[in-house]
């Protein structure tokens, strides 16, 4: 019976939390949608269960409902400790989703620690700083579906939640667990139910975690995953995270190709793919997103064209090392909102159609040539989700990362054991895509059960 349960608003966030728990000795299952967790007749022997609700871009009432159902599924499986996994760039209806969880967890307070030091995401003075840049000056502020225009997080969350909020500054955290504990008790006595806390390094997370355990409050951890891992360790539920890193050599497997489903349009992803292509033997297949948005015969024909172009190059002596399927890394960035208005679509429908098509293309290629694929690398949470759905993998086994937030999983279902890496569009440096491809070739050669 699982002890830990986490609810994430997208699948790449879910894998990030699942990996941190798995690397700390917790057998962890990840459901790509809460409805599959609800349908599970037996929770199995997992120590932890993570559910992706896909709610980041949904209107607040829909996000609330999705999260509520996920919490009910976790409670039904016997979960005792809960996490609300949030995006490192604070996108989505975070306050609403916290409310949804607290409404089902009586006498619980939310401790929000939005730092992930290993990914250079910190909170200082209440301000979110991403790799040395204020959140509002990063690409997250221009996200096409969930832009973030406020980087003072106490103000951001106070505008999203019905709970009384409070803030504990870095000065208390630097003073150690006793100071944090005193601040926690003071804020709760003043009626706060949602408390945001600064952190800039892993030691800060540990001091906060120790204070939370000593407080004996029922706590919902709200964070990108690193704080939950420390809190779980201090609760005695998991071990220390294994720190060894696997550096895969630049190699390949004869007759095998890594399939890349690139749904992200961020400058970070674009640069990573440019570096990958510069290494040689990468076949880029550009997909017309307007045809995918048109739907019907136009979309079907474009999907068929791409499937044939990719399948025809797989398995031979001259097979490319990677095939890059992309809709947004060539030419001018598509104005999704304008294209949706032109077609009379609701906001977000265009992106959904594009991601669904990428999922269909990936599944069709796998049907024809799965024996020639070393692994799948999906950029963007919605893209990874669509790929998993069309491959029939409703639950992932997550166990490691290439870098933090670029997570290695194995599919279940029809392609059970097949390796896949999911990475958010804003994660990593210029060489991250190269490292992910190398790791997938290594995983292909060393399958696990």
CATH number of the domain enclosing 417: 3.40.980.20
Q: Does 144 reside within a domain?
A: yes
pLDDT at res. 162: 97
Is residue 340 a part of any domain in this protein? yes
Q: In this predicted structure, what is the pLDDT of residue 42?
A: 59
Where residue 124 falls among pLDDT bands split at 50, 70, 90? very high
**Minimal CA–CA distance to 430: which of 272, 262, 260?**
272
Query: 267 and 228, same structural domain?
Result: no
Residue 241 forms part of a structural domain: no
pLDDT at 144: 76
Split into its structural domains, the chain has a count of 2
* 46 against 40, higher pLDDT: 46
Q: Which of 369, 417, 357 is nearest to 258 (CA)?
A: 369
Alpha-carbon gap, residue 46 to 48, rounded angstroms? 5
Residue 268 shares a structural domain with residue 219: no
In this structure, are 229 and 261 located in the same domain?
Answer: no
Average pLDDT for residues 339-365, to the nearest whole number? 94
Q: Which of 189, 219, 234 is the last residue of a domain?
A: 234
Residue 297: phi and psi, rounded to 5, are -65, -35
> Alpha-carbon torsion 66, 119, 348, 161, what sign?
positive
According to DSSP, residue 107 is labeled T
Per the prediction, the chain carries an average pLDDT of 93
- Asked if 149 and 116 sit in the same domain, the reply is yes
**How far apart, in Å, do the first and last CA atoms of the chain sit?**
21
pLDDT of 355 over the 90 cut: yes
Reported as a pLDDT band with limits 50, 70 and 90, residue 33 is: confident
Q: pLDDT by residue (tens digit) across 250-260?
A: 778 888 999 99
pLDDT at 43: 58
pLDDT at 41 (0 to 100): 58
Cα separation of 246 and 221, whole Å?
A: 29
My answer on whether 330 and 212 are in the same domain is: no
pLDDT score, position 448: 56
CATH of the domain at 136: 3.40.50.10840
Q: What is the mean pLDDT of residues 93-109?
A: 98
Is residue 331 included in any domain, yes or no?
yes
Q: Among 202, 234, 266, give the residue marking a domain's end.
A: 234
- Tokens for 350? 């265009």
Any domain includes 357? yes
Q: Tokens 């990677």: give the residue.
A: 322
- Structural domain range at position 201: 4-234
H or E segment to which residue 5 belongs: strand 4-8
Q: Are residues 299 and 230 in the same domain?
A: no
pLDDT attached to residue 245: 66
Higher pLDDT residue, 346 or 103? 103
User: pLDDT-based confidence at 447, cuts 50/70/90?
Assistant: low
Q: Are residues 110 and 201 in the same domain?
A: yes
Which position has the token pair 């199995």? 44
Q: Are residues 36 and 181 in the same domain?
A: yes
User: Do 205 and 262 share a domain, yes or no?
Assistant: no
Q: What is the DSSP letter of 152?
A: B
Give the up-direction half-sphere exposure of residue 250: CA atoms within 13 A in the CB hemisphere: 7
Domain presence at residue 216 = yes
Chain segment 53-71, per-residue pLDDT in tens: 999 999 999 999 999 999 9
CA distances 248 to 252, 402, 439, 443, 446, Å, are 11, 9, 5, 9, 12
Say if residue 263's pLDDT is above 90.
no
3-state DSSP assignment of residue 431:
coil
On the question of pLDDT at 89 being above 90, the answer is: yes
Contact, 313 vs 321, CB < 8 A?
A: no
Same domain (yes/no): 411, 376: yes
Neighbours of 167 (CB within 10 A): 22
For residues 103-118, average pLDDT:
97
CB atoms closer than 10 angstroms to residue 380: 28
**Cα angle at 161 between 160 and 167, to 5 degrees?**
100
Do the domain assignments include residue 250?
no
pLDDT tens-digit profile of 144-194? 789 999 999 999 999 999 999 999 999 999 999 999 999 999 999 999 999
What value does the mean pLDDT take over residues 258-278? Answer: 92
Do residues 31 and 65 lie in contact, with contact meaning Cβ atoms separated by under 8 Å? no
17 and 144 belong to one structural domain: yes
Asked if 237 and 134 touch (Cβ cutoff 8 Å), the reply is no
Residue 396 lies in a domain: yes
Mean pLDDT, residues 11-38 taken together: 90
Do both 229 and 264 map to the same domain? Answer: no
The pTM is what? 0.86
Last residue of a domain, one of 234, 265, 285: 234
């Amino acid at each position: 019976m699982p002890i830990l349960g986490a609810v994430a608003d997208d699948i790449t966030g879910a894998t990030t939390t699942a990996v941190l728990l798995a690397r700390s000795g917790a057998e962890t299952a990840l459901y790509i949608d809460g409805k599959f967790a609800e349908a599970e007749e037996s929770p199995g022997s997992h120590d932890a269960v993570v559910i992706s609700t896909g709610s980041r871009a949904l209107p607040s009432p829909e996000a609330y409902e999705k999260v509520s159902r996920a919490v009910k599924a976790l409670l039904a499986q016997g979960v005792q400790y809960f996490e609300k996994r949030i995006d490192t760039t604070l996108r989505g209806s975070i306050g609403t989703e916290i409310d949804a969880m607290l409404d089902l967890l009586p006498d619980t307070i939310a401790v929000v620690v939005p730092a992930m030091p290993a990914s250079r995401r910190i909170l200082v003075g209440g301000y979110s700083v991403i790799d040395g840049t204020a959140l509002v000056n990063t690409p997250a502020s221009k996200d096409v579906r969930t832009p973030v225009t406020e980087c003072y997080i106490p103000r951001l969350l106070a505008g999203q939640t019905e709970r009384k909020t409070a803030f504990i500054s870095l000065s208390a955290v630097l003073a150690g667990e006793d100071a944090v504990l005193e601040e926690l008790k003071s804020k709760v006595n003043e009626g706060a139910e949602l408390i945001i806390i600064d952190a800039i390094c892993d030691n800060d997370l540990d001091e906060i975690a120790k204070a939370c355990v000593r407080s004996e409050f029922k706590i919902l951890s709200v964070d990108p995953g690193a704080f939950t891992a420390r809190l779980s360790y201090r609760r005695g539920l998991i071990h220390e995270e294994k720190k060894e890193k696997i550096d895969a050599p630049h190699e390949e497997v004869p007759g095998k190709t890594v399939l890349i489903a690139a749904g992200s349009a961020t400058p970070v992803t674009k640069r990573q793919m440019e570096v990958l292509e510069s290494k040689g033997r990468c076949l880029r297949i550009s997909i017309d997103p307007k045809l995918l948005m048109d739907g019907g015969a136009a979309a079907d024909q474009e999907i068929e064209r791409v499937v044939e172009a990719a399948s025809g190059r797989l398995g031979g002596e001259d097979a490319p090392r990677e095939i890059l399927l992309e809709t947004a890394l060539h030419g001018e960035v598509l104005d999704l909102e304008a294209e949706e208005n032109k077609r009379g679509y609701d906001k977000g429908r265009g992106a959904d159609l594009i991601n669904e098509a990428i999922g269909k293309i990936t599944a069709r290629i796998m049907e024809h040539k799965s024996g020639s694929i070393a692994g799948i690398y999906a950029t963007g949470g919605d893209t990874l989700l669509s790929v998993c759905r069309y491959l029939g993998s409703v639950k992932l086994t997550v166990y490691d990362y290439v870098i933090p937030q670029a997570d290695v999983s194995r599919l279940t279902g029809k392609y059970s054991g097949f390796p896949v890496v999911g990475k958010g569009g804003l994660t990593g440096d210029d060489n991250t895509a190269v490292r992910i491809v190398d790791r997938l070739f290594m995983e292909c050669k060393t399958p696990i059960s």
